[in-house]
Amino acid sequence: MSWNLPRRHRRWFAFLLVACTAQLEVASAEKLVAAWSSVSAVNSPLWIMQDAGFFKQEGLDVDLIFVLSSPTVAKATLAGEVAVSGANSQVVVDSGLSGGDLVAMGSMSNVVAFYIMAGPEIRSVADLKGKTVGITRFGSSSDFGMRMLLAKHGLEANKDVAFVQIGGMPEIAVALTKKLIAAAPMSQPMAYVAEQSGAKVLANLAKEEIPFMHMGFTTTRKFLKERRAEAKSMIRAYGRALHFLHTRREASRAIFARYTKITDQGMLDGSIKYGQDFLEKIPFVKPAAFQVTLDEVGRSNAKAKLAKPQQFFDNSLVQEVVDEGFFLKLWGKNP
Protein backbone atom coordinates (compact mmCIF):
# COMPACT_ATOMS: atom_id res chain seq x y z
CA MET A 1 0.00 0.00 0.00
CA SER A 2 1.38 3.41 -0.94
CA TRP A 3 0.07 6.80 -0.01
CA ASN A 4 0.74 9.64 -2.45
CA LEU A 5 0.90 12.37 0.20
CA PRO A 6 2.80 15.62 -0.23
CA ARG A 7 6.18 15.54 1.58
CA ARG A 8 5.07 18.03 4.26
CA HIS A 9 2.02 15.86 4.98
CA ARG A 10 4.15 12.74 5.21
CA ARG A 11 6.34 14.51 7.80
CA TRP A 12 3.28 15.46 9.89
CA PHE A 13 1.90 11.94 9.59
CA ALA A 14 5.19 10.47 10.83
CA PHE A 15 5.26 12.94 13.73
CA LEU A 16 1.69 12.09 14.74
CA LEU A 17 2.42 8.36 14.52
CA VAL A 18 5.40 8.71 16.89
CA ALA A 19 3.41 10.92 19.29
CA CYS A 20 0.47 8.51 19.40
CA THR A 21 2.77 5.55 19.97
CA ALA A 22 4.44 7.37 22.87
CA GLN A 23 1.05 8.18 24.40
CA LEU A 24 -0.03 4.56 24.11
CA GLU A 25 3.16 3.44 25.86
CA VAL A 26 2.57 5.89 28.70
CA ALA A 27 -1.09 4.88 28.99
CA SER A 28 -0.18 1.20 29.14
CA ALA A 29 2.43 1.69 31.87
CA GLU A 30 0.99 0.18 35.04
CA LYS A 31 1.11 2.29 38.18
CA LEU A 32 3.41 0.96 40.90
CA VAL A 33 2.97 1.34 44.64
CA ALA A 34 6.07 1.88 46.77
CA ALA A 35 5.99 2.12 50.55
CA TRP A 36 8.04 3.64 53.35
CA SER A 37 7.63 2.51 56.95
CA SER A 38 8.85 5.03 59.55
CA VAL A 39 9.48 8.71 60.14
CA SER A 40 13.22 8.26 59.78
CA ALA A 41 15.87 9.67 57.49
CA VAL A 42 16.71 6.10 56.50
CA ASN A 43 13.51 6.23 54.41
CA SER A 44 14.44 9.58 52.84
CA PRO A 45 15.63 8.17 49.48
CA LEU A 46 12.02 7.17 48.75
CA TRP A 47 10.80 10.65 49.70
CA ILE A 48 13.36 12.26 47.40
CA MET A 49 12.71 9.81 44.56
CA GLN A 50 9.09 10.92 44.63
CA ASP A 51 9.29 14.64 45.33
CA ALA A 52 12.37 15.42 43.22
CA GLY A 53 10.78 13.65 40.26
CA PHE A 54 13.27 10.80 39.88
CA PHE A 55 10.55 8.16 39.55
CA LYS A 56 9.14 10.08 36.58
CA GLN A 57 12.61 10.74 35.19
CA GLU A 58 13.15 7.00 35.07
CA GLY A 59 9.81 6.43 33.35
CA LEU A 60 7.97 5.14 36.43
CA ASP A 61 4.44 5.98 37.56
CA VAL A 62 4.59 5.50 41.32
CA ASP A 63 2.25 6.07 44.24
CA LEU A 64 4.33 6.42 47.42
CA ILE A 65 2.46 5.44 50.59
CA PHE A 66 3.20 5.12 54.30
CA VAL A 67 2.81 1.71 56.00
CA LEU A 68 3.96 1.59 59.62
CA SER A 69 6.84 -0.84 60.38
CA SER A 70 8.91 -3.24 58.26
CA PRO A 71 6.93 -6.40 59.15
CA THR A 72 3.64 -4.78 58.10
CA VAL A 73 4.99 -3.37 54.86
CA ALA A 74 6.53 -6.77 54.04
CA LYS A 75 3.11 -8.42 54.35
CA ALA A 76 1.69 -5.82 51.96
CA THR A 77 4.51 -6.54 49.51
CA LEU A 78 3.91 -10.29 49.69
CA ALA A 79 0.21 -9.69 49.12
CA GLY A 80 0.95 -7.73 45.95
CA GLU A 81 -0.49 -4.52 47.36
CA VAL A 82 2.98 -2.93 47.27
CA ALA A 83 5.55 -3.48 44.51
CA VAL A 84 8.68 -2.21 46.26
CA SER A 85 9.14 -1.29 49.89
CA GLY A 86 11.73 -0.52 52.51
CA ALA A 87 12.22 -3.48 54.85
CA ASN A 88 15.00 -5.00 56.94
CA SER A 89 16.92 -8.26 56.56
CA GLN A 90 15.14 -10.01 59.43
CA VAL A 91 11.78 -9.46 57.76
CA VAL A 92 13.13 -10.90 54.49
CA VAL A 93 14.68 -13.89 56.28
CA ASP A 94 11.57 -14.62 58.35
CA SER A 95 9.48 -14.53 55.19
CA GLY A 96 11.87 -16.70 53.21
CA LEU A 97 12.14 -19.35 55.90
CA SER A 98 8.33 -19.55 55.90
CA GLY A 99 8.18 -20.03 52.14
CA GLY A 100 7.62 -16.38 51.22
CA ASP A 101 8.79 -14.79 47.99
CA LEU A 102 10.46 -11.65 49.36
CA VAL A 103 13.91 -10.64 48.10
CA ALA A 104 16.15 -7.63 48.63
CA MET A 105 17.14 -6.16 45.26
CA GLY A 106 19.28 -3.51 46.91
CA SER A 107 20.22 -2.09 50.30
CA MET A 108 19.83 1.48 51.46
CA SER A 109 21.75 0.80 54.68
CA ASN A 110 23.93 -2.19 55.65
CA VAL A 111 24.34 -1.26 59.32
CA VAL A 112 21.94 -0.89 62.21
CA ALA A 113 21.36 2.83 61.78
CA PHE A 114 20.11 3.72 65.25
CA TYR A 115 21.20 5.71 68.25
CA ILE A 116 20.19 4.14 71.56
CA MET A 117 18.60 7.02 73.43
CA ALA A 118 18.22 6.70 77.20
CA GLY A 119 17.30 8.69 80.25
CA PRO A 120 20.15 10.49 82.05
CA GLU A 121 20.09 7.92 84.87
CA ILE A 122 21.17 5.16 82.45
CA ARG A 123 24.95 5.41 82.24
CA SER A 124 25.79 2.15 80.49
CA VAL A 125 24.10 -0.70 78.63
CA ALA A 126 24.49 -2.79 81.79
CA ASP A 127 22.19 -0.33 83.59
CA LEU A 128 19.31 -1.51 81.40
CA LYS A 129 19.10 -4.81 83.28
CA GLY A 130 15.67 -5.04 84.88
CA LYS A 131 14.40 -2.10 82.84
CA THR A 132 12.02 -1.79 79.88
CA VAL A 133 13.04 -0.60 76.42
CA GLY A 134 10.78 0.53 73.61
CA ILE A 135 10.76 -0.67 70.00
CA THR A 136 8.45 -0.02 67.04
CA ARG A 137 7.32 -3.60 66.39
CA PHE A 138 8.63 -7.09 67.10
CA GLY A 139 10.66 -8.16 64.06
CA SER A 140 11.45 -4.56 63.15
CA SER A 141 14.92 -3.05 62.73
CA SER A 142 14.63 -1.46 66.17
CA ASP A 143 13.84 -4.85 67.72
CA PHE A 144 16.80 -6.55 66.02
CA GLY A 145 19.28 -3.76 66.78
CA MET A 146 18.33 -3.57 70.44
CA ARG A 147 18.60 -7.35 70.90
CA MET A 148 22.00 -7.46 69.21
CA LEU A 149 23.36 -4.66 71.39
CA LEU A 150 22.13 -6.31 74.58
CA ALA A 151 23.65 -9.66 73.56
CA LYS A 152 26.98 -8.00 72.90
CA HIS A 153 26.92 -6.71 76.47
CA GLY A 154 25.86 -10.01 78.01
CA LEU A 155 22.14 -9.25 78.41
CA GLU A 156 19.25 -11.25 76.99
CA ALA A 157 16.21 -9.58 75.47
CA ASN A 158 12.89 -10.28 77.22
CA LYS A 159 14.74 -11.96 80.10
CA ASP A 160 17.15 -9.38 81.47
CA VAL A 161 15.49 -6.47 79.67
CA ALA A 162 11.77 -6.21 78.85
CA PHE A 163 10.67 -5.13 75.38
CA VAL A 164 7.48 -3.21 74.65
CA GLN A 165 6.02 -2.39 71.22
CA ILE A 166 5.16 1.28 70.96
CA GLY A 167 4.64 2.08 67.28
CA GLY A 168 6.33 4.90 65.39
CA MET A 169 9.37 6.96 66.29
CA PRO A 170 7.30 9.98 67.42
CA GLU A 171 5.44 7.75 69.90
CA ILE A 172 8.74 6.30 71.15
CA ALA A 173 10.08 9.82 71.76
CA VAL A 174 7.01 10.62 73.86
CA ALA A 175 7.34 7.38 75.86
CA LEU A 176 11.00 8.11 76.59
CA THR A 177 10.23 11.68 77.63
CA LYS A 178 7.50 10.49 80.01
CA LYS A 179 9.88 7.82 81.40
CA LEU A 180 7.54 5.01 80.41
CA ILE A 181 10.65 3.29 79.02
CA ALA A 182 14.31 3.50 80.01
CA ALA A 183 15.78 3.49 76.50
CA ALA A 184 14.97 2.94 72.84
CA PRO A 185 16.67 2.66 69.44
CA MET A 186 15.94 5.89 67.57
CA SER A 187 16.86 7.51 64.30
CA GLN A 188 16.87 11.12 63.21
CA PRO A 189 14.93 13.33 63.46
CA MET A 190 13.23 11.83 66.52
CA ALA A 191 16.53 11.19 68.32
CA TYR A 192 17.00 14.95 68.30
CA VAL A 193 13.52 15.42 69.81
CA ALA A 194 14.34 12.97 72.61
CA GLU A 195 17.67 14.71 73.24
CA GLN A 196 15.97 18.08 73.54
CA SER A 197 13.71 16.55 76.19
CA GLY A 198 16.64 15.36 78.31
CA ALA A 199 17.57 11.97 76.85
CA LYS A 200 21.14 11.19 75.84
CA VAL A 201 22.89 8.97 73.34
CA LEU A 202 23.81 5.75 75.15
CA ALA A 203 25.23 4.00 72.08
CA ASN A 204 25.63 4.52 68.34
CA LEU A 205 24.81 1.15 66.77
CA ALA A 206 26.71 2.01 63.60
CA LYS A 207 29.88 1.89 65.72
CA GLU A 208 29.00 -1.46 67.30
CA GLU A 209 30.08 -3.36 64.16
CA ILE A 210 26.76 -5.14 63.74
CA PRO A 211 26.17 -5.84 60.02
CA PHE A 212 22.48 -5.66 59.22
CA MET A 213 20.35 -4.59 56.28
CA HIS A 214 18.51 -1.89 58.18
CA MET A 215 16.63 -0.77 55.11
CA GLY A 216 16.56 -2.66 51.84
CA PHE A 217 14.77 -2.34 48.53
CA THR A 218 12.42 -5.24 49.08
CA THR A 219 10.18 -6.79 46.47
CA THR A 220 9.18 -10.27 45.32
CA ARG A 221 11.03 -12.57 42.96
CA LYS A 222 7.85 -12.61 40.89
CA PHE A 223 8.10 -8.83 40.41
CA LEU A 224 11.81 -9.07 39.53
CA LYS A 225 11.06 -11.71 36.92
CA GLU A 226 8.02 -10.07 35.35
CA ARG A 227 8.97 -6.38 35.63
CA ARG A 228 12.73 -6.36 35.75
CA ALA A 229 13.11 -3.19 33.67
CA GLU A 230 11.00 -1.21 36.15
CA ALA A 231 12.89 -2.66 39.11
CA LYS A 232 16.13 -1.56 37.46
CA SER A 233 14.68 1.92 36.97
CA MET A 234 14.03 2.00 40.73
CA ILE A 235 17.73 1.39 41.37
CA ARG A 236 18.67 4.30 39.09
CA ALA A 237 16.10 6.55 40.77
CA TYR A 238 17.62 5.64 44.14
CA GLY A 239 21.09 6.56 42.88
CA ARG A 240 19.81 9.96 41.76
CA ALA A 241 18.15 10.48 45.15
CA LEU A 242 21.40 9.84 47.06
CA HIS A 243 23.31 12.24 44.81
CA PHE A 244 20.56 14.81 45.44
CA LEU A 245 20.83 14.28 49.21
CA HIS A 246 24.57 14.97 49.11
CA THR A 247 24.45 17.96 46.75
CA ARG A 248 21.09 19.75 47.24
CA ARG A 249 20.85 20.61 50.94
CA GLU A 250 18.13 23.27 50.75
CA ALA A 251 15.88 21.19 48.54
CA SER A 252 16.54 18.09 50.68
CA ARG A 253 15.63 20.04 53.80
CA ALA A 254 12.28 21.02 52.26
CA ILE A 255 11.48 17.41 51.37
CA PHE A 256 12.45 16.19 54.85
CA ALA A 257 10.23 18.88 56.39
CA ARG A 258 7.25 17.75 54.33
CA TYR A 259 7.49 14.10 55.35
CA THR A 260 8.55 14.57 58.98
CA LYS A 261 6.32 17.62 59.69
CA ILE A 262 9.35 19.22 61.35
CA THR A 263 10.39 22.85 60.89
CA ASP A 264 13.33 23.08 63.32
CA GLN A 265 16.42 23.68 61.17
CA GLY A 266 18.75 21.85 63.56
CA MET A 267 16.60 18.74 63.45
CA LEU A 268 16.34 18.85 59.66
CA ASP A 269 20.09 19.34 59.19
CA GLY A 270 20.78 16.53 61.67
CA SER A 271 18.47 14.25 59.69
CA ILE A 272 20.23 15.08 56.43
CA LYS A 273 23.61 14.36 58.03
CA TYR A 274 22.23 11.07 59.35
CA GLY A 275 21.15 10.11 55.84
CA GLN A 276 24.51 11.04 54.37
CA ASP A 277 26.32 8.99 57.03
CA PHE A 278 24.24 5.81 56.91
CA LEU A 279 22.82 5.48 53.38
CA GLU A 280 24.63 3.60 50.62
CA LYS A 281 25.54 5.57 47.48
CA ILE A 282 25.64 2.30 45.54
CA PRO A 283 22.95 0.03 47.06
CA PHE A 284 24.68 -3.34 47.05
CA VAL A 285 23.41 -5.78 49.66
CA LYS A 286 26.30 -7.06 51.79
CA PRO A 287 26.15 -10.82 52.47
CA ALA A 288 27.43 -10.28 56.02
CA ALA A 289 24.27 -8.31 56.81
CA PHE A 290 22.18 -11.40 56.09
CA GLN A 291 24.59 -13.82 57.74
CA VAL A 292 24.35 -11.98 61.06
CA THR A 293 20.58 -12.00 60.68
CA LEU A 294 20.54 -15.75 60.03
CA ASP A 295 22.75 -16.33 63.06
CA GLU A 296 20.34 -14.40 65.26
CA VAL A 297 17.19 -15.95 63.80
CA GLY A 298 18.83 -19.38 64.13
CA ARG A 299 18.65 -19.05 67.91
CA SER A 300 14.90 -19.75 67.69
CA ASN A 301 14.43 -21.17 64.18
CA ALA A 302 16.50 -24.20 63.16
CA LYS A 303 15.78 -23.56 59.45
CA ALA A 304 18.01 -20.48 59.59
CA LYS A 305 21.05 -22.64 60.40
CA LEU A 306 20.73 -24.40 57.04
CA ALA A 307 20.10 -21.27 54.98
CA LYS A 308 22.64 -19.19 53.03
CA PRO A 309 22.63 -15.37 52.80
CA GLN A 310 22.42 -15.49 48.99
CA GLN A 311 18.93 -17.01 49.22
CA PHE A 312 17.52 -13.70 50.36
CA PHE A 313 19.00 -11.04 48.08
CA ASP A 314 19.76 -10.38 44.42
CA ASN A 315 22.48 -7.85 43.58
CA SER A 316 22.27 -8.41 39.82
CA LEU A 317 20.28 -5.25 39.08
CA VAL A 318 22.67 -3.02 41.01
CA GLN A 319 25.60 -4.71 39.29
CA GLU A 320 24.07 -4.06 35.87
CA VAL A 321 23.61 -0.37 36.69
CA VAL A 322 27.23 -0.20 37.90
CA ASP A 323 28.52 -1.96 34.76
CA GLU A 324 26.63 0.51 32.58
CA GLY A 325 28.59 3.35 34.19
CA PHE A 326 25.55 5.03 35.72
CA PHE A 327 27.02 5.78 39.15
CA LEU A 328 30.38 6.85 37.72
CA LYS A 329 28.65 9.32 35.40
CA LEU A 330 26.34 10.54 38.17
CA TRP A 331 29.09 11.31 40.69
CA GLY A 332 31.88 12.09 38.21
CA LYS A 333 34.05 9.58 40.06
CA ASN A 334 33.78 6.22 41.77
CA PRO A 335 31.48 6.93 44.76
Write out pLDDT tens, residues 305-330. 999 999 999 999 999 999 999 999 99
Neighbours of 208 (CB within 10 A): 17
Cut 0.85: pTM above it: no
The pLDDT-based confidence of 278 (bands split at 50, 70, 90) is confident
CA–CA distance, 290 with 28 (Å, rounded to integer): 37
- 89-97 and 141-152 are packed helices; what angle lies between their axes, rounded to 10 degrees? 100
CATH number for the region 115-207 comes to 3.40.190.10
Statement: residue 193 has pLDDT above 90: no
Q: 19 to each of 52, 110, 187, how far by Cα in Å?
A: 26, 44, 47
Write out pLDDT tens, residues 226-241. 999 999 999 999 999 9
What's the rounded mean pLDDT across residues 203-219? 88
pLDDT for the residue 59: 97
Torsion angle of C-alpha atoms 224, 228, 233, 239, degrees rounded to 10 = 50
pLDDT for the residue 46: 97
Write out pLDDT tens, residues 258-273. 999 989 998 899 899 8
Which of 26-30, 94-98, 127-131 is least confident?
26-30
pLDDT for the residue 188: 86
What's the rounded mean pLDDT across residues 127-133? 97
Cite the residue boundaries of each domain of the chain with CATH code 3.40.190.10.
Answer: 25-111+214-331, 115-207
Q: Which residue has the higher pLDDT, 9 or 161?
A: 161
pLDDT for the residue 6: 53
pLDDT for the residue 27: 37
pLDDT for the residue 29: 55
Rounded (5°) CA angle 187-190-53 = 75
pLDDT for the residue 302: 95
pLDDT for the residue 63: 97
Statement: residue 274 has pLDDT above 70: yes
CATH number for the region 25-111+214-331 comes to 3.40.190.10
pLDDT for the residue 140: 85
The pLDDT-based confidence of 28 (bands split at 50, 70, 90) is very low
Q: Are 90 and 144 in contact (CB under 8 A)?
A: yes
In terms of C-beta density within 10 A (0-12 exposed, 13-18 middle, 19 or more buried), how is residue 2 classed? exposed
Write out pLDDT tens, residues 153-165. 999 999 999 999 9
